[in-house]
Structure 1
């Protein structure tokens, strides 16, 4: 079966050589620039794209958009550095003087590999370079493998259940426990980690990291440069602050965010993600299915997470919201297996014996997921931390809320139990 190909660049020898082969590859259009190529591919004209000029314009988002419509990408370059960058964003590379027959074989392999990966069902970038590259990459220049670090995502329904407060304090407790931690604010509606931590120089570190990842130049040094450092009395962790305005959500695209999180897990023991609340697949509401997704940051964070904490407020409004939200979470991210946490537990909102009341109600009306932890309401300690831009371990080290959060992620007894956060994620990885 013939493979239709579009090209970018004025390399007449390349096009002529492919056409003279009379083989499985047919050049159906020569484009002058990448936007024209993208339009041709989105119209269903081609199954492969050969970029002979302008490879600097290839980004992870563009490769993802091409992969989503079933188009594999091969770029021609003689620069080892550019080949390594392209490899990092999922593009196969070959030398500019590659023989037409060899290039034809590589195009066929790239299309077969892309089709075999079932890219259309994924929201991450195409990995057409996994099997194909003519320019060997040096050590550490290949595609990013999942690092040893864990990703913990904190999610909860609308209504301020306490996701951000829990996220920053989880990061602080893990850092105090000796872990290397990176905290990521991926809330595309109301990023607030910087404000909670009292970071005055709010420069949207996550957006900067996503731009670098999109260009394929996000390395360890670059990530350290855009991440803010937060020092506490018991440990230090790094923070990728969120977008400064809600209308900047287009800067948090799924392919770039995936690269940021994978790079972060290579550098840190634990990556803590404060995710947004909305799980709606908003691209389904538009005729332009290739448009950026408002909720891509939340969905991609939950897809990549080893552990998802589902946080709900323990009151007559928050609990039903969490129950409905868990059903939406199961539909949107079936592999999530959330760890349910009820926050702000207090007798004044539930009645005497609040934990017993909540557990009984959950067993009668809630989903199959059991309640993993109850976090007590401590408004005075939480307000003191917010006012001082600090963590509970600094302003209220003996508070019940601080101890409950620490026991949630750091208790040695939990780590030896099958239901613990770290042992359960390790078990899932072993099965995979």
Structure 2
């Protein structure tokens, strides 16, 4: 079966003729003058592959995703090694401008096959509910370094339903506690509705670090050095971590595309042992109801963060309003991100809103009426410590190191690491003390 192909650019007059003379493997159905015309032709269902002979500099991760969403693979022609590397980072296969027609035809068939589904030795798509058209990382026509491997870093996402249950406070203090443990930590504000990490940490930020990183990632220009330059260092008394601040206005949400954010988090894994993501609350993905074509997704940043997280904390408020919201939110989370296994955390636990023995009351009610996710942690309501930290633009470990809230957050994230690091000597000593 012949593969319908569209082309853009005039760099080689014999490109179309050479492919047509093969009589079968591919068929050139349209020759476009520029990328917007090519995009329109592909979105109409005209082609399965696109050859960019001129203007590959205009290809971005977002454009590649839009074409992948309608089943179109891209092959760009370039003689620049730097441009080929950039194209590879955003999921575009490349070939030299002098490639033979038969070799180009084979590359087109290979790219289309990989886009249709990963086979033996194929590369999986960066896809998911947040971004159904995520791009492939395709092989080059010429020998070149393989695609970047995911870094060893671990992603921790902090999510919670509507109603300000304390996501940002928990995320920021988790980052601070892990940095105090000697971890290399990067804190990412991916809330597309109300980014507030910069305000909580007292940062005079107007540059929206995450938006900068996503912009470079979309262009295929984000490397480790660039990410380290964008991420602002935050020094505390106990340790230092880096921060990618959020968007400065809610209407800038279009800058946080899912494909670009995925690339940012891939790079983040390479520079940090722990990546802490402060995610937004909304999990809706119903833009298709309002758009005839592939729609922008306001909640893509939240959904993609939750999809990629190795550990997910679901934070809810311990009161008669916050608990039902969390229960409904977890049901929505199960539908939106089926692979998620949230660790449920009750925040602002206090007897005045729950009753005597609030932890026992919450646990009993959760076992009777709550979802399958187990209620695993309680964060006490320490308003004086929280207010002091917010007023000073600091973390709890700085302004209130003995606060019950600080200790609860520390135990939430540091206790597992401490247990994993225990040596046989430490364990035997602890056992002897327990016996005594």
TM-score, normalised to structure 2's length?
A: 0.92
Residue of structure 1 equivalent to 2:191? 187
Alpha-carbon distance, 1:145 to partner: 1.8
DSSP 3-state at the match of 2:83: helix
Query: Map of 1:302-321 to 2, 5 A cutoff?
Result: 302-321=306-325
Do 2:90 and 2:137's aligned partners in 1 also have CA atoms closer than 8 Å? no
Asked whether 1:125 is paired with 2:134, we answer yes
CA contact (8 A) 1:68 1:120 kept: no
Deviation track 1:198-226 (CA, whole Å, cap 9, x = no partner) reads 00133100000000000001011110111
Output the CA distance in 2 between the equivalents of 1:176 and 1:288. 50
Task: Summarize the Cα distance change of 1:405–1:121 in structure 2 as closer, same or farther, 3 Å threshold.
Answer: closer
On the 8 A contact 1:282/1:294 being kept in 2, the answer is: no
Structure 1 residues 343-377: Cα deviation after superposition (integer angstroms, max 9, x where no partner): 00000000000000000000010001111100000
Q: Are residues 119 and 229 of structure 1, via their aligned partners in 2, closer, same or farther at CA, if it must alter by over 3 Å?
A: closer
Partner of 2:415: 411
Q: Could you say what secondary structure the match of 2:39 adopts?
A: helix
Structure 2 counterpart SS, 1:78:
coil
Whether 1:215 aligns to 2:238 is no
Alignment match, 1:7: 7
Q: Deviations over 1:210-257 (max 9, x none)?
A: 000000010111101111110000100000000000000000000000
Separation (CA, whole Å) in 1 of partners of 2:264 and 2:19: 37
- Report the secondary structure of 2:21's partner residue: helix
Aligned to 1:82: 83
Q: For residues 326 and 289 of structure 1, what CA distance do their matches in structure 2 show?
A: 30
Equivalent residue of 1:411, what SS?
helix
Is the counterpart of residue 231 in structure 1 residue 240 in structure 2? no
- Residues 408-429 of structure 1 show CA distances to partners (whole Å, capped at 9, x for unaligned) of 0111577449xxxxxxxxxxxx
Provide the residue aligned with 2:37 in structure 1.
36
For the structure 1 residues 21 and 219, does the alpha-carbon distance in structure 2 shift closer, same or farther, using more than 3 Å as the test? same
Question: 1:136 aligns to what?
Answer: 143
CA contact under 8 A between 1:311 and 1:340: conserved in structure 2?
yes
Q: CA deviation at 1:146?
A: 1.4
- Count the aligned residue pairs: 412
Match of 1:204 among 205, 208, 223: 208
Taking the TM superposition and a 5 Å limit, the aligned residue runs for 1:394-405 are 394-405=398-409
Given the alignment, which residue of 182, 185, 193 partners 1:178? Answer: 182
TM-score (normalizing by structure 1)? 0.93
Rounded Cα–Cα distance in structure 1 between residues aligned with 2:126 and 2:174: 35
Contact 1:163 1:274 in 2 (8 A): yes
* Cα deviation 1:169-196 (Å, max 9, x = unaligned): 0000000000000000000000000000
Residues 283 and 289, structure 1, Cα contact 8 Å, conserved in 2:
no
State how far apart, in whole Å, the 1-side matches of 2:166 and 2:230 are. Answer: 26
| Aligned alpha-carbon RMSD (Å) | 1.5
Identify unmatched segments of 5+ residues in structure 1: 418-432
Where does residue 103 of structure 2 map in the other structure? 102
* Residue aligned with 1:410, SS: helix
Distance 1:50 1:136 in 2: 19
The residue that corresponds to 1:426 in the other structure is none
Q: 2:126–2:259: 8 Å Cα contact kept in structure 1?
A: no
Q: CA deviation at 1:285?
A: 2.5
Counterparts in 2 of 1:253 and 1:415: CA distance versus 1, 3 Å: farther
Q: Once superposed, which parts of structure 1, at least 4 consecutive aligned residues long, lie more than 3 Å away?
A: 117-122, 412-417
Partner of 1:70: 71
Aligned match of 2:265: 261
Is the contact between residue 345 and residue 379 of structure 2 (CA under 8 Å) also seen in structure 1?
A: yes
Residue of structure 2 equivalent to 1:155 = 159
Whole-Å Cα distance in 2 between the matches of residues 337 and 249 of structure 1?
Answer: 27
User: Unpaired segments of 5 or more residues in structure 2?
Assistant: 119-123, 422-436
Q: Is the 8 A contact 1:314 1:343 kept in 2?
A: yes
1:241 aligns with 2:245: yes
